[in-house]
Amino acid sequence: MTIDPDSIKYNSDGLVPAIVQAADTKAVLMMAWMSAETLQLSLNEGRTVFWSRSRQEIWRKGETSGEQQIIREAYYDCDGDTLLFVVDQHGDGACHTGNYSCFFRSFND
């Protein structure tokens, strides 16, 4: 599908934050950034594709680790400046640390 370019507001770096939630457990797995190009790639390919700010390159999630995220639902928020993807998380989890979710550290710990 083609995105209405007016529907999404990118920041000054041309990026928009993308929250990823597991379809089965409903856990919030991670947040990463998408460019207009990687958002379109995500919708076209049916899996999450991000923009790596550290490497400054397209990052197909799980391409090397096998921990792909297959998109079930894709939303944008009321302001059009945040995305939400509900996914089937493949492999052990979303986090490069080996944890299921990137949010494994609590302020209460």
For the bound state, the minimum distance from the C-beta of residue 23 to a second copy, rounded and expressed in Å, comes to 11
Among 19, 23, 36, 41, binds a second copy (CB under 8 A): 19
Minimum CB distance to a second copy smaller for 58 or for 84:
84
Q: Using alpha carbons only, how large is the chain's radius of gyration in Å?
A: 14
Minimum CB distance to a second copy smaller for 64 or for 78:
78
Are 20 and 28 a contacting pair, CB within 8 Å?
yes
Are 51 and 58 a contacting pair, CB within 8 Å?
yes
Asked if 104 touches a second copy (CB under 8 A), the answer is yes
Are 94 and 30 a contacting pair, CB within 8 Å?
yes
Asked if 5 touches a second copy (CB under 8 A), the answer is no
Amino acid, single-letter form, for residue 34: M
Asked if 97 touches a second copy (CB under 8 A), the answer is yes
Minimum CB distance to a second copy smaller for 35 or for 99:
99
Are 34 and 51 a contacting pair, CB within 8 Å?
yes
